[in-house]
Structure 1
Amino acid sequence: MTEGTAAHCWFIAPLDLLAGAVARLPQRLLLGLGALLAWLLWPWMGRRRRYARVNLALCFPELAPVQRERLLRANLRATVTGALELLRAWYAPPPALQGLAEVEGLEHLRAATATGRGVLLFGGHFTHSELSARLLEELSGQPVHVVVRRNNHRCIEAMFDRARRNAFAGTIAKKDVRGLLRTLSQGGVVAYSADQNFNYQNAFVPFFGVPAATLTATPDLARRGKATVLPFWCHRGEDGRYRLRIEPQWKGWPSGDAAADAARYMGELEQVVRRHPEQYLWVHRRFKTRPPGEPGFYRTPAGHS
């Protein structure tokens, strides 16, 4: 970093110190801080509240309005807490993570890595996804790479990237297919999700009964990278501890039919989300891209945020 850049990024050093302090908080205090911040930030989260409210209405029409509103508040609380869990994932020293998690199905990961092939840990966008990858590293001793979205602010991105590189084996930009394939072909383990809205290489498949534009390239990426695909899920229990689960690759997947494989993924993800719906990342526009001729879901009514 040049002298001029360092001066421009003067605020990063105190942010680093604050992030490190938050990452070391006892779990009870971190969760309490997340709840407090969610309450304080509620008035400034109008756009994200609207996205989540639309998504929940589409996906849980069977719930009464008061139940969906309760779920919305729980989800916003989990989403804000997820920002603190990111800091824990990036900055917490190993002793601060001890006793926070348990993992089921670790034998599937060990068997896959023993072959020398790369592994795609195939999950979804939950509020604690990167923390689950860090916890898996600590519990298994297996280095994990993460796929990330780069920040547009140069100083913030430098801070995030440095923290992630300290926590994980490496980072791969979301659209860096070449980097992903190189990591897999070298036997790396990559935490990967394909459940956000995709307007390319997609198929419209059901997610909670709603056609959702879903990436169809995952089986081809695994084939080209000679990787094993293992479903990887995590949820935070009522006691504040994290339950990680690695499953064997789904039978009959991939099938050779890209749309059918995407539908299987969405179906499996839906089952997991239904168990803990408040912990899924509902604040993004999952159903933004619509089939031809269908109106969008997220248009802002006049006079509303």
Structure 2
Amino acid sequence: MAGKPFPYRDYLAPGYWPMWLGFGLLKAATRLPVNWSLAIGDKLGWLIYHLVASRRHVACLNIKQAYPDYTEAQRQQLNLACFRSLGMSIFETAYAWYGTDAKLRKICAVEGLHHVEQARENGRGVIILTGHFTTLDIGGRLSGFYLSDYNGVYKKAHNPLFNAMMTHCRARYGNALIENRDVRKVIKGLKQGNPTWFAPDQDFADQDIVFTPFLGGLATTLTATAKMARLTGASVIPFCPVRLDKTRADGVRYKMVFYPPLENF
């Protein structure tokens, strides 16, 4: 979807300058080879792990609850891997927002796309059910190479400049970008047959949620997925944007995986 010009003049106040610097660095990073950026991100994640003790502690508690049989060494290893993935996601977001199609097409492949195509052939909308993975933004950009006219649902960011830049960049790929509160627009798109990217794994406080068993504990999830599927007759297809451990011989580093539709959902 062709986006509108970015309203730069609305965000020239000095308070926004540090964030502008961050955006500039991210855009500059896209000139590097993808593997170089990921290597830098890996080291950045290592640094965050060692410097931000509060977040490291929270992650450790979650891992301990999810994997009670793990040894302390295994928990620390997984915790560090999560932070390294987080560091890489910063550079992946840069590529998603500012990278060129020519560069990104070379590093991705798709698996299970026929599940989406079959659902669309039946004239039904498709809910692309995903989660807030560290590959969220790069997955949204790369999946746009395989999904025509897909809509994306997003949560508004608190910082005005960050929200404006996020929506401006994300609107460049896909069909429409819909704020999560605009349920009518989401439903309209599904009824029109548009695949719709939706991640219900976060608690939005004022929306209908349920607690469900997840990795040995209870986690909140939105009930909106089931309601929208029932109301529109849309198929629900799980989707996972996978970052491969190493670049394949053909240059692929990411795999967009679409799973079979959920039954009786």
TM-score range, shorter chain: 0.7 to 0.9
1:223 counterpart letter in structure 2? R
2:153 counterpart letter in structure 1? V
Distance 1:116 1:47, change over 3 A: farther
Q: Does 1:91 align with 2:98?
A: yes
Instruction: Report Cα offsets for 1:237-264 as digits up to 9, x if no partner.
Output: 211412222122123x21xxxxxxxxxx
Between the aligned partners of 1:2 and 1:41, the Cα distance in structure 2 is 31
Per the TM alignment, residue 117 of structure 1 is displaced from its structure 2 partner at its CA by: 2.7
Q: In the alignment, which residue of structure 2 is the partner of 1:264?
A: none
Q: Identity rate of aligned residues, in percent?
A: 30
Per the TM alignment, residue 141 of structure 1 is displaced from its structure 2 partner at its CA by: 5.1
Q: Does 1:246 align with 2:258?
A: yes
Distance 1:144 1:47, change over 3 A: farther
1:127 counterpart letter in structure 2? T
Q: Does 1:7 align with 2:7?
A: no
Q: Does 1:115 align with 2:122?
A: yes
Instruction: Report Cα offsets for 1:31-63 as digits up to 9, x if no partner.
Output: 111012123333443332222111100001111
TM-score by length of 2: 0.84
Distance 1:191 1:25, change over 3 A: farther
Distance 1:49 1:194, change over 3 A: same
Between the aligned partners of 1:25 and 1:2, the Cα distance in structure 2 is 26
1:144 counterpart letter in structure 2? Y
Distance 1:156 1:214, change over 3 A: closer
Work out the number of aligned pairs and report it. Answer: 251
Q: Does 1:173 align with 2:185?
A: no
1:249 counterpart letter in structure 2? P
Instruction: Report Cα offsets for 1:2-22 as digits up to 9, x if no partner.
Output: 85x243255666554433332
2:66 counterpart letter in structure 1? C
Please give the residue correspondences for 1:186-197 in structure 2 after superposition, counting only pairs within 5 Å. 186-197=192-203
Per the TM alignment, residue 23 of structure 1 is displaced from its structure 2 partner at its CA by: 3.0
SS of the residue aligned with 2:69? coil
SS of the residue aligned with 2:36? helix
Per the TM alignment, residue 118 of structure 1 is displaced from its structure 2 partner at its CA by: 2.0
Instruction: Report Cα offsets for 1:50-82 as digits up to 9, x if no partner.
Output: 221111000011110011001100101101211
**Conserved? CA contact 1:23–1:89, under 8 Å:** no
SS of the residue aligned with 2:70? coil
2:260 counterpart letter in structure 1? P
SS of the residue aligned with 1:121? strand
Q: In the alignment, which residue of structure 2 is the partner of 1:22?
A: 29
**Conserved? CA contact 2:191–2:232, under 8 Å:** yes
Between the aligned partners of 2:24 and 2:8, the Cα distance in structure 1 is 21
**Conserved? CA contact 1:143–1:189, under 8 Å:** yes
Distance 1:154 1:203, change over 3 A: closer
SS of the residue aligned with 1:167? coil
Distance 1:148 1:45, change over 3 A: farther
Distance 1:50 1:11, change over 3 A: closer
Between the aligned partners of 1:22 and 1:49, the Cα distance in structure 2 is 26
1:51 counterpart letter in structure 2? V
Distance 1:158 1:60, change over 3 A: same
Between the aligned partners of 1:41 and 1:2, the Cα distance in structure 2 is 31
